[in-house]
Structure 1
Amino acid sequence: MNAPEDWFAARGWEAFDFQREVWQAIAEGRSGLLHATTGAGKTFAVWLGALQAFATPATGRHAPPLTLLWLTPMRALAADTLRALQQPLPALAPGWSAGARSGDTGAAERSAQNRRLPTVLVTTPESLSLMLSRADAKEVLGTLRMVVVDEWHELMGNKRGVQAQLALARLRRWNPALCTWGMSATLGNLPQALNTLLAGREGVLVQGALPKQLVIDSLLPAQVERFPWGGHLGLTMLPQVIAEIAASSGTLVFTNTRSQSEIWYQAVLEARPDWAGQIALHHGSLDRGVREWVELGLKGGTLKAVVCTSSLDLGVDFLPVERVLQIGSPKGVARLLQRAGRSGHAPGRPSRITLVPTHSIEMVEGAAVRAAVAEGRVEERRSPAQPLDVLVQHLVTVAMGGGFVPDALYEEVRDTSAYAGLSRESWQWCLDFVSQGGPSLAAYPDYRRAVPDAEGVWRVPDTRLARRHRMNIGTIVSDASMTVQYLRGAKLGSVEESFIARMKPGDCFLFGGRLLELVRVHDMTAWVRRATGRKPSVPRWNGGRMPLSSTLADAVVQQLARAGEGRYDAPELQRVRPLLEIQQRWSALPTPQTLLAELLKTREGWHLFLYPFAGRLVHLGLASLIAWRVAQHRPRTFSIAVNDYGFELLCADEVDWPALLPQVLAPVPAPQLLHEVLASLNAGELARRRFREIARVSGLIFQGYPGERRSNRQLQASSSLFYEVFRKYDPANRLLRQAEEELLAQELEIGRLREALERMATQRLVTQALSRPTPFAFPLMVELFREKLSNEAVADRIARMVAQLEEAAGGAAPAGDGEQVRRALAFDRPVEDGAAGEQAAPARAARGRAKGVARAPIRDN
């Protein structure tokens, strides 16, 4: 008898070969990684295999103890995952109990779980760490026989994944035979992902390649603007978006930012007021109750459309969803595949995602991402290497959870991919740090967080410090937020404190699709009431703009090369052909073999436009590096603008770029490159901001108990104080070094920057002297205008320049005027969502401080 097969047959289903392969592997006690198309049945593959292997007949009054742990990267997935896991229990494991534990778990349920955990528990890495901090952690978690890590691609490349690795190492110590499985749909480096999950142990890699139909297309504007600028096409596509929503029974409209989701939701509702109650908004700052109502409405088919962010990227099963619309570039192949899988989320059903360009050049990305998917090119994920702030936090967690002996825990920690190469010196530094805060904090008892007892077991000596640590567990770092609540009504969600701090009572803002008036601020709550008829602000949630991935960037350049050869075979290329033909006529189109540099003299000065197609973060580093290198010949002042395709350097003095470019683009040894990049930026300020996050994770600063959250300004002041103390009195502090390493690796993407320089050295430099801005140069110029002028002045200047360029291109000026541009400018102010509270874009903080180079504020386009 095969229980999973029988359960499938009772529902008229037939198992896929990859599901049978997983069932067999789990039955043999093997661990592994399942990589399969979204909606192909990964959950049932792993879950039914676990039930077949571990479910036993019920005995006694209680359900079996905790047997299986299901790790999910998002709280929003926990409830949906639990519902899916409960389906086969009556037939295959009637004695088993199931539950979920996360930040959304109610107090009553949490209390019941503290007395006895269910047989299967769906939880997050943070909640698992909290369980490891219990004094009886070994007794409670030692009964585990299997751990499943869902959406492994979402965890693998960040500190939350490292936190999960450390927890798995602890669980394996208590049960060496622990069965571990990961699941993913969008990974490019599968062997490395398996190795990271299992810490080098032998495992099976199962790939569930199913013939699932995936349709990737684009909404194409009726008229292509041959001189685009970032974002402004957006809402002009609203009528087409409305038509697509109307033609489908269920649609998800994905945006890359929470601010953008608020604007698009309001725009759709204003265009179709009769859809009130049939469309909804979903993002991570909305109240849990609102989010759950939206999710249930999607599952039940009562909502026609939901405007959302990455909060609905993962795992949640919405069968009624037929269509997915992506506003703007998805920035990566994996993200597009993940979002596309939200439609047709069942075996055999087609998935369709439609890209809605927010500027003309983004149409090329539509053709590029479709080609990349067809060729199977997906971005890789890599685990962070030895983040000591996460390790320090884990040491205190384990000290609370029964204590530890250093030598034994050292071997346990090294049994992870992230810390496999951890040196004894680094380990001893971490022990010293948790026992006394290092040499500069030794006199303060608050930093004696874990010390050895008489038997040599390290424990937390103070219940107050233990309570503080539990409040600080986790690696998700975000700025302080304030609750938004009606004066005599429900909570609506949360918004960043810095946004509310800029407002005064009577000001209005858009939140949750509602126009609200701020009444007062008290106890970290913004008390509001409904408002009508006044111009709102739109909240900005922190986070860096997502850069274009290298995989997608390479695909874009290949599409441009095809256009340069006259091969306009994709619908998007055909529509954007007028723009590309002007670019080619006035200058050239980039190719994989060439590096395009454009030179222009205007009344502002001498412009250099360079197009490496390496993503905005790399371009920021490249632009600053080139400016710094040029300044070694002669001090100059530069202004910088960057976007995903290239960057602009503007200098008031003449620069002989044809002579200097081959010199300043030359690759150098890695140590020298690190020195030059740090010298070219305000690296001290950037590292200080990065250190704030490290200080929170490592427990140096305490964010406060519930109801008394400290302001972001207080936290910044605290972390800055530690930063200065360490620099002065403890310069060898390894958290300082980590801040610099993370700055280089994550915010400046030093690896991609080095690769870009090496690639550029192999390309043929094509230098074009311009008489006017090209379609590629124009959006970069607009960004510099926006730094110096008001929206009103920028709008008039953009409208005038577009008219002049269209006339030079031999066409009529497009319909519209400065007023249309002003409305577009008001819309085009996005800030990235960042589900885990990602770091602020370094472009916001970078300032020239190196050897005679002074730069204007830098804007991302």
Structure 2
Amino acid sequence: MTRARPTRPQDWLATRGWRPFPFQRTVWRAVAEGESGLLHAGTGAGKTHAVWLAALARFADPAAAAPLTVLWLTPMRALASDTERALAEPMAALAPGWTLGLRTGDTGSAERARQARRLPSALITTPESLSLLLARADARAALRSVRMVVVDEWHELLGNKRGVQVQLALARLRQWNPTLLTWGLSATLGDLAHASAVLLGGATGRLVEGRSDRLPQIDTLLPARPERFPWAGHLGLRMLPALITELEAAGSSLVFLNTRSQAERWYQALLEARPDWAGLIALHHGSLDREVRDWVEQGLKQGRLKAVVCTSSLDLGVDFSPVERVLQIGSVKGVARLLQRAGRAGHAPGRRPRITLVPTHSLELIEAAAARQAAKAGQLEARRSPEKPLDVLVQHLVTVALGGGFRPETLLPEIRSTWAYRELADDEWQWALAFVRQGGPSLHAYPEYRRVAPDDAGDWRVPDAQVARRHRMGIGTIVSDAGVTVQFLRGGRLGTVEESFIARLRPGEAFLFAGRLLELVRVHGMVAYVRLAGGARAAVPRWNGGRMPLSTELADAMLAQLEHAAAGQLDSPELRCAAPLLSLQAAWSALPGRDTLLAESLRSREGWHLFLYPFAGRQVHLGLASLLGWRLARQQPVTFSISVNDYGLELLSATAIDWPARLQPALFDDAGLLQDLLAGLNAGELAQRRFREIARISGLVFNGYPGAAKSARQLQASSSLFYEVFRQHDPDNRLLAQAEHEVLWQELEGQRLAETLATLRTRRLVHQALKRPTPFAFPLMVARFRERLGSEKLAERIARMLAELERAAGGEATTDVAASLAFEQPAAVAPPRRRRRP
């Protein structure tokens, strides 16, 4: 007997043995009634089926093909193939006449040509590829049939310029189809009202919250001998044996680290400890070649790999059903990131996600307890959309000019319909138009910057084919430093490293990359040719952008945990494990809390120290330390050395300072914050560095054609030249002001700094004069030493201080400093053993 083809979403689910959840039914009703909205539900809860089945039920005619009807936006190309598999099966049953396609940077030329002739009924794409579609001359004809846009993993886009790019694209599509439905999907958003408003351009929509019963199991791998004087900057490899034990007990695991350099080192350490795991464990990060990453992902899906050491490259919603465990080495930095990574495990029905936190030092024990409590309370970080980034607006104007042209008077309301540009002023709009028309006052004499001009009919278009080609190649807001391809002599590609790293190596020297010890043979163009090396000590590539600050929510949760400890409530395994540190900190000084600001002062052979513990994250502490240093220097002539970490800051001066007299509430006033920050920091250098990104997004700097990419040095020189030209000849150029704004409000988290200052003014100051560094002060001192000492001298200095402090505390040092630094810091590179050629 032939089973009838399902015609409704619930019928299709029934064929799989599933029943719809209430939130899925809610989404189906909302879409059927023509509503847009935001769906927020846990990872693996069924968000994709909720929205996709609703789209098929509303728009699909089972008996007919359809033009492009649904756009599914994904933030990562790696997710596109998984998303295609998830959408294909129900589509085959509920809309057999529909076609489904992919359009990303990995899409081949043959597929692009087919799509140029006829787009599929549903298209999975990225923000960059959507902008490329908008730049087609027939964009309106090709895209006006779109009736629904789904933005997957909206949290990944909301808080950055890629999200602004999506806002502008959605506004364009709504202009062509006012009844367009828009739905966002996410599992880890804090401020849902803001996230919805940004997605829908301020329009009202349905907010649907899904299953919350999949809160992961969060536990901590406790060290056998927790140190009383922690120091950060090493990888905590003393936890390696315990980690191996955990991996042995699980079928398949993901081991997350926060940076690619850390992932490279931990992967190497695992292989050295367990050579029998060769082929069973793998490495995955964004700088590895696409084929390498695909092989790893397939190995996870097929259950062939026991463990993968990875970074945020595997954060998002790829479905790896065999994965049983997730382990996070070091601080997770935020509650949302913790839940996102935990959601990579337990995708099979009836399984609960589990994440194990692996602290690299004792303060991370407290952070682990805080993270679990904050996750349980649902204290997720809010992400805020950037406001009025003019570089993205300039790029979009050229895109729209390519996509059929525009008239300024009709385009302006469309731009202002987005959340990011809702307050775009008339003079800012006129500046953007002038910039794309002639490059502004300082570039009007150069034809290549006359990118858009009105034609005889009054439509603004791109008049030059070369300008059009360069623009299409530069569309997007993802800006990274130029990468040098790492390739074996016989052709196998491994991935890319930053040009500045390769430039420091000489042929014959060794470095660790892609889990292999490699010898540099030669560099030609932007390709570094390598071969496998012998047993040399190796350098490890470092990539920019690796540091993530502690979030406000996690910092507040840490202070709550410290309050529990101060009250003697060691009510978690982590606090009990960290008890030696906590009791010593309380005995020698005090424990900070949510209502107190702990300040410690110390006189040493180096000078006069101030340690302050706002618990506001590294970037805020850098801005705060610079601000306090500047303001104190205006009161008396003094120069400060600064050290910061996620928990506090250190100011060190060579002259005496009466800290109790200086630490008055006025010191933390937010009046004049902008001016004092600019004066206290090398703001010009920071703004120039930020301007490099802005110059590339706005189209001032061209990355080069395929096969002839410009080097990082060339790109930096070009952007620096524009920066100086604008400063001297066009000081009112709004891109200069944008660079300064982004330094203050993004790199230094200016809004959070202002909020921190307001909070500190309300806290009761607790000042402690110290005889010696406390457990909280010690890591700040080590961070300062690290800036000016090599690894051997640093190890000696740390070991000597640890011995002195432990003797004063009545114990002995428990950390082998030299062993920690020997592997975990880039070593001097020794030439590899030469092999005789066959």
Identify the match of residue 107 of structure 2 among 105, 108, 111: 105
Paired position in structure 2 for 1:674: 674
* Unaligned residue ranges in structure 2 (runs of 5+): 1-5, 829-838
Give distance in 1, aligned partners of 2:803 and 2:106: 54
Give distance in 2, aligned partners of 1:138 and 1:368: 51
| 1:270 match: secondary structure | helix
1:201 maps onto 2:203 in alignment: yes
Paired position in structure 2 for 1:840: none
Give the root-mean-square deviation of aligned CA atoms: 1.4
Residues 299 and 544 of structure 1: CA distance in aligned 2, closer, same or farther (over 3 Å) = closer
Paired position in structure 2 for 1:743: 743
Listed as ranges, the matches of 1:80-119 within 5 Å are 80-119=82-121
The aligned amino acid for 2:821 is: R
Give distance in 1, aligned partners of 2:117 and 2:637: 69
Query: What are the superposed Cα offsets for residues 695-716 of structure 1, whole Å, 9 maximum, x if unpaired?
Result: 1100011111111111111111
Query: What are the superposed Cα offsets for residues 268-296 of structure 1, whole Å, 9 maximum, x if unpaired?
Result: 11111111111111111111111111111
Contact 2:229 2:778 in 1 (8 A): yes
| 1:88 match: secondary structure | helix
1:394 maps onto 2:396 in alignment: yes
Contact 1:75 1:102 in 2 (8 A): yes
Paired position in structure 2 for 1:820: 819
Paired position in structure 2 for 1:841: none
Give distance in 1, aligned partners of 2:464 and 2:579: 69
Query: What are the superposed Cα offsets for residues 534-584 of structure 1, whole Å, 9 maximum, x if unpaired?
Result: 111111111151100011000001100110110000110000000010000
Shift of residue 263, structure 1, vs aligned partner: 0.7
Listed as ranges, the matches of 1:418-457 within 5 Å are 418-457=420-459
Paired position in structure 2 for 1:74: 76
Query: Which TM-score applies when normalising by structure 1?
Result: 0.94
1:683 maps onto 2:683 in alignment: yes
Shift of residue 231, structure 1, vs aligned partner: 3.8
Query: What are the superposed Cα offsets for residues 639-696 of structure 1, whole Å, 9 maximum, x if unpaired?
Result: 1110000011111111111111116633132xx1100011000000000111111111
Shift of residue 815, structure 1, vs aligned partner: 6.1
Residues 236 and 93 of structure 1: CA distance in aligned 2, closer, same or farther (over 3 Å) = same
Contact 1:799 1:821 in 2 (8 A): no
| 2:198 match: secondary structure | helix
Shift of residue 827, structure 1, vs aligned partner: 6.9
Contact 2:237 2:820 in 1 (8 A): no
Paired position in structure 2 for 1:848: none
Give distance in 1, aligned partners of 2:427 and 2:793: 58
Paired position in structure 2 for 1:285: 287
Residues 268 and 825 of structure 1: CA distance in aligned 2, closer, same or farther (over 3 Å) = closer
Residues 295 and 114 of structure 1: CA distance in aligned 2, closer, same or farther (over 3 Å) = same
Give distance in 2, aligned partners of 1:777 and 1:646: 8
The aligned amino acid for 1:713 is: R
Give distance in 2, aligned partners of 1:164 and 1:766: 47
Paired position in structure 1 for 2:835: none
Shift of residue 57, structure 1, vs aligned partner: 2.8
| 1:292 match: secondary structure | helix
1:30 maps onto 2:16 in alignment: no
Mean Cα displacement is larger for which, 586-595 or 542-551?
542-551
Give distance in 1, aligned partners of 2:225 and 2:654: 36
Shift of residue 58, structure 1, vs aligned partner: 3.9
Contact 1:803 1:814 in 2 (8 A): no
The aligned amino acid for 2:20 is: A
Listed as ranges, the matches of 1:777-796 within 5 Å are 777-796=777-796
Paired position in structure 2 for 1:703: 703
The aligned amino acid for 2:36 is: S
Paired position in structure 2 for 1:619: 621
The aligned amino acid for 1:350 is: R
Shift of residue 791, structure 1, vs aligned partner: 1.3
Paired position in structure 2 for 1:801: 801
Shift of residue 346, structure 1, vs aligned partner: 4.3
Give distance in 2, aligned partners of 1:819 and 1:576: 23
Give distance in 2, aligned partners of 1:409 and 1:813: 67
Query: What are the superposed Cα offsets for residues 604-638 of structure 1, whole Å, 9 maximum, x if unpaired?
Result: 11111100001000100111111111111222221
Give distance in 1, aligned partners of 2:369 and 2:820: 27
Identify the match of residue 373 of structure 2 among 371, 374, 377: 371
Residues 597 and 825 of structure 1: CA distance in aligned 2, closer, same or farther (over 3 Å) = farther
| 1:527 match: secondary structure | strand
The aligned amino acid for 1:261 is: A
Identify the match of residue 482 of structure 1 among 481, 484, 494: 484
* Unaligned residue ranges in structure 1 (runs of 5+): 830-861
The aligned amino acid for 1:745 is: W
Contact 1:340 1:351 in 2 (8 A): yes
Give distance in 1, aligned partners of 2:310 and 2:824: 22
Paired position in structure 1 for 2:610: 608
Residues 794 and 815 of structure 1: CA distance in aligned 2, closer, same or farther (over 3 Å) = closer
Identify the match of residue 526 of structure 1 among 525, 528, 544: 528
Listed as ranges, the matches of 1:236-635 within 5 Å are 236-635=238-637
Query: What are the superposed Cα offsets for residues 173-222 of structure 1, whole Å, 9 maximum, x if unpaired?
Result: 11111111000000111111111111122210110033224211110000
Give distance in 1, aligned partners of 2:311 and 2:430: 42
1:50 maps onto 2:52 in alignment: no
Shift of residue 738, structure 1, vs aligned partner: 0.7
Shift of residue 828, structure 1, vs aligned partner: 11
1:230 maps onto 2:232 in alignment: yes
The aligned amino acid for 1:36 is: A
Contact 1:795 1:825 in 2 (8 A): no
Contact 1:230 1:828 in 2 (8 A): no
Mean Cα displacement is larger for which, 90-99 or 341-350?
341-350
Query: What are the superposed Cα offsets for residues 233-287 of structure 1, whole Å, 9 maximum, x if unpaired?
Result: 6111001111111111110000000011111111111111111111111111111
Mean Cα displacement is larger for which, 819-828 or 430-439?
819-828
Contact 1:665 1:757 in 2 (8 A): no
Residues 346 and 380 of structure 1: CA distance in aligned 2, closer, same or farther (over 3 Å) = farther
Contact 1:287 1:493 in 2 (8 A): yes
Contact 1:104 1:288 in 2 (8 A): no
Shift of residue 26, structure 1, vs aligned partner: 1.0
1:732 maps onto 2:732 in alignment: yes
Contact 2:7 2:94 in 1 (8 A): no
Mean Cα displacement is larger for which, 440-449 or 779-788?
779-788
Contact 1:618 1:753 in 2 (8 A): yes
| 1:87 match: secondary structure | helix
Query: What are the superposed Cα offsets for residues 65-108 of structure 1, whole Å, 9 maximum, x if unpaired?
Result: 21111000011111111111111122111111111111111222
The aligned amino acid for 2:565 is: A
Shift of residue 232, structure 1, vs aligned partner: 3.2
1:752 maps onto 2:752 in alignment: yes
1:13 maps onto 2:25 in alignment: no
1:192 maps onto 2:197 in alignment: no
| 1:518 match: secondary structure | strand
The aligned amino acid for 1:30 is: E
Contact 1:40 1:346 in 2 (8 A): no
The aligned amino acid for 2:726 is: F
The count of corresponding residues between Structure 1 and Structure 2 is 823
Give distance in 2, aligned partners of 1:79 and 1:182: 19
Give distance in 2, aligned partners of 1:509 and 1:185: 38
Shift of residue 512, structure 1, vs aligned partner: 0.9
The aligned amino acid for 1:34 is: L
| 1:771 match: secondary structure | coil
Contact 1:589 1:596 in 2 (8 A): yes
| 1:484 match: secondary structure | strand
| 1:65 match: secondary structure | coil
Query: What are the superposed Cα offsets for residues 321-365 of structure 1, whole Å, 9 maximum, x if unpaired?
Result: 110000101100000010001111245420111000111100001
Shift of residue 750, structure 1, vs aligned partner: 1.0
Give distance in 2, aligned partners of 1:64 and 1:699: 36
